[in-house]
Amino acid sequence: MAKLLKSDGTILDVTPEKGRLSLDEMQKFVGGYIEHVDLDKGRHLIVNEEGKVNGLPGNRLATDEWCKMYGPTDFICGDALILEPNEFS
């Protein structure tokens, strides 16, 4: 099941309207244009492409997911989604 990792540390389950999240749904959850990042085990991280530029708050949970895959090379700002392999196409 998809998870919404909110900047305040809250994690919410996300249920797509039609089995998979649409682009429009993903943009609503992250609050803007999306950027897709591949994670381990076929999972996907969906973040706000302009999160840093727009001054969104840092997201420790999403940053931790990034660091597990890529090391401490970046940080995530704003709400983010974690999608399982079958939830992204």
pLDDT for position 19 = 73
The percent of residues in the chain predicted with pLDDT above 90, rounded, is 83
Residue ranges of the chain with per-residue pLDDT less than 50: none
Domain-by-domain residue ranges, the chain?
2-87
* pLDDT tens digits along 30-46: 999 999 999 999 999 99
Share of the chain above pLDDT 70, in %: 99
The values of phi and psi at residue 84, to 5°, are: -75, 165
